[in-house]
């Protein structure tokens, strides 16, 4: 039996802008995982079982006499897509395909099944691709794993920067810039899959960041789940109308995140904190312009409490719920901050950073 795991993530800065090329984001991988095990089936029938997601519900809309299922919040859609694309790679390598049983387990969501918003769809996609490649004894570099998982994820969600997939593959703290999606679609139509996942992708940049000594990451969970894909759809709907202010938003976000990355390079916690605060304001304004609720009242409160206790705080990811993050230093009153969060219905999540992954094939454990 082969067992692999892939971590969840949090966005630290650069959200929404990172959907466009040449706009960096900072992310961090966390030590909460999706676990996948795979073994050869004893007979001709394979199985796919997902412990947490078996009783999930689906969203759908009516298009005339048709029911259209929104698969983007359905983890099974990501598992199936990951299998399909990983097998496409395996098949093109000339390997005979087999029948297997695949089990998915996760500690990315709370014990009662509520989503923290830590990127479970990305982690489940990465873990599944990883398991399939190991099952067929194919070595997988991080780049290969990222590319197969990114294609599988994008083909289900149809939007997203894929920064969450990168964090799950590479681990640690990352600066991430997305690739040219139109180019990729064209490549997939005209070239062999194997060629597409082994060539360089225009625009894609993934760089490990070293956190300064003494820098702390605190995570607060609002206990309110949010749908990233729906928020991204809503923000896209305004893009054409907001031409000038959208371009300005991209420019401001880019400048802010580049300064933050420089803060990592210099080991300057204060500079990172300053840019967290700048990015918070940029995202607040973006939410207002687009009429989307990024910093909802519970996140606003989370941030106010953190700032009161000398932490630099902002929403994480698409906002609208899920988590907020705080970059703290020695000056941050961590205990008092957490206590006040708890008193206000915000749960501190005591997760650690998942370390940088040098090689992926060594992840297997029995
Ligand atoms: O809400 P999260 O943690 O899934 O983050 C979404 C970040 C966005 O930039 C809004 C979308 C994306 O895919 O990058
Ligand atoms: Mg979210």
Q: Give the distance (Å) from ligand 2 centre to CA of residue 119.
A: 8
Question: Using one digit for the tens of pLDDT, what is the confidence trace for 316-331?
Answer: 999 999 999 999 999 9
14 lines ligand 1 (CB under 6 A): no
> Residue 10 is part of a domain; what is its CATH number?
3.30.230.10
**CATH code, domain carrying 307:** 3.30.70.890
pLDDT of amino acid 362: 30
Residues 186 and 251 in one domain: no
Residues 71 and 191 in one domain: yes
How high is the pLDDT of residue 75? 80
Q: Strand 347-348's sheet: what is its strand order?
A: 312-315, 323-328, 216-221, 347-348
Closest CA to 26 of 149, 151, 203, 208: 208
Q: Are 296 and 320 in contact (CB under 8 A)?
A: yes
Which residue among 10, 123, 153, 163 has the greatest number of ligand 1 atoms within 8 angstroms of its CB, and so is best to mutate? 163
Shortest-distance Cα residue to atom 13 of ligand 1: 160
49 and 151 in a single domain? The answer is: yes
Q: Is residue 65 very low, low, confident or very high in pLDDT (cuts 50, 70, 90)?
A: confident
Average pLDDT, the chain: 92
Residues 266 and 157 in one domain: no
Same domain, 178 and 248: no
* Best residue among 228, 239, 250, 299 to mutate for probing ligand 1, ranked by most atoms within 8 Å of CB: 228
229 with 157, same domain: the answer is: no
Confidence tier at 237 by pLDDT (50, 70, 90): confident
Determine whether the shortest distance from the Cβ of 8 to ligand 1 is under 6 A: no
The pairing of strands 323-328 and 347-348 is: unpaired
Q: Is the pLDDT of residue 113 over 90?
A: no
**Best probe residue, ligand 1, of 119, 160, 324 (max atoms within 8 Å of C-beta):** 160
How confident is the model over 115-161, as pLDDT tens digits? 898 989 999 999 999 999 999 999 999 999 999 999 999 999 989 99
Q: Give the number of domains in the chain.
A: 2
- Of the chain, the percentage scoring pLDDT greater than 70 comes to 96
Residues 12 and 144 in one domain: yes
Confidence band for 22, pLDDT divided at 50, 70 and 90? very high
The alpha helices in 193-348, defined as continuous H runs, are: 193-198, 228-238, 243-266, 269-290, 297-308, 334-343
pLDDT tier, 364 (very low <50, low <70, confident <90, very high otherwise): very low
The residue segments making up the domain with residue 330 are 216-348
pLDDT in tens, 239-272: 878 889 999 999 999 999 999 999 999 999 999 9
pLDDT given at position 13: 98
Percent of the chain scoring above 90 in pLDDT: 78
Half-sphere exposure of 296 (CA within 13 A, CB side): 20
Query: Is residue 160 within 6 Å of ligand 1 at its C-beta?
Result: yes
- Determine the length of the chain: 366
In degrees, rounded to 5, the angle at the alpha carbon of residue 137 between the alpha carbons of residues 131 and 143 is: 65
In this structure, the answer to whether residues 341 and 254 fall within a common structural domain is: yes
Q: Which atom of ligand 1 is nearest to the CA of 319?
A: 1
Mean local confidence (pLDDT), 74-92:
94
Indicate whether 20 and 120 sit together in one domain: yes
pLDDT of residue 366: 29
Q: Could you tell me if 103 and 230 lie in one domain?
A: no
> Are residues 97 and 50 part of one domain?
yes
* Most confident range, picked from 49-58, 65-74, 347-356: 347-356
Task: Give the pLDDT of residue 76.
Answer: 87
Lowest mean pLDDT among 35-39, 62-66, 171-175, 319-323: 62-66
Same domain, 157 and 268: no
Predicted pLDDT at 361: 35
């Amino acid at each position: 039996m082969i067992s692999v795991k892939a971590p969840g993530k949090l966005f630290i800065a650069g959200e929404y802008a990172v959907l466009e090329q040449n706009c960096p984001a900072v992310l961090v991988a966390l030590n909460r995982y999706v676990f996948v095990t795979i073994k050869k089936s004893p007979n001709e029938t394979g199985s796919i079982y997902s412990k947490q997601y078996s009783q999930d519900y689906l969203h759908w809309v009516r298009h005339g006499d048709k029911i259209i299922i929104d698969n983007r919040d359905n983890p099974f859609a990501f598992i199936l897509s990951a299998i399909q694309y990983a097998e496409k790679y395996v098949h093109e390598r000339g390997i005979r395909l087999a029948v297997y049983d695949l089990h998915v387990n996760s500690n990315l969501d709370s014990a009662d099944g509520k989503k923290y918003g830590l990127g479970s769809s990305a982690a489940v996609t990465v873990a599944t691709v990883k398991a399939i490649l190991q099952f067929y004894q194919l070595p997988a570099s991080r780049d290969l794993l990222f590319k197969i998982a990114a294609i599988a994820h994008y083909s289900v969600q149809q939007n997203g920067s894929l920064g969450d997939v990168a964090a799950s593959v590479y681990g640690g703290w990352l600066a991430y810039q997305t690739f040219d999606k139109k180019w990729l679609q064209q490549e997939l139509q005209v070239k062999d899959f194997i060629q597409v996942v082994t060539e360089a992708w225009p625009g894609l940049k993934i760089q490990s960041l070293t956190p300064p000594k003494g820098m702390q990451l605190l995570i607060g969970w609002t206990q309110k789940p949010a749908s990233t894909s729906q928020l991204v759809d809503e923000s896209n709907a305004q893009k054409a109308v907001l031409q000038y202010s959208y371009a300005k938003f991209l420019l401001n976000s880019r400048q802010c995140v580049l300064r933050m990355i420089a803060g990592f390079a210099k080991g300057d916690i204060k500079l990172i904190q300053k840019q967290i605060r700048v990015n918070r304001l940029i995202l607040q304004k973006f939410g207002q312009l687009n009429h989307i609720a990024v910093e909802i009242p519970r996140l606003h409160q989370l941030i106010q409490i953190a700032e009161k206790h000398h932490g630099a705080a902002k929403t994480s990811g698409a906002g609208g719920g899920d988590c907020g993050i705080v970059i703290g230093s020695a000056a941050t009153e961590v205990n008092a901050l957490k206590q006040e969060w708890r008193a206000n219905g915000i749960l501190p999540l005591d997760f650690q950073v998942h370390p940088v992954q040098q090689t992926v094939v060594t992840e297997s454990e029995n």
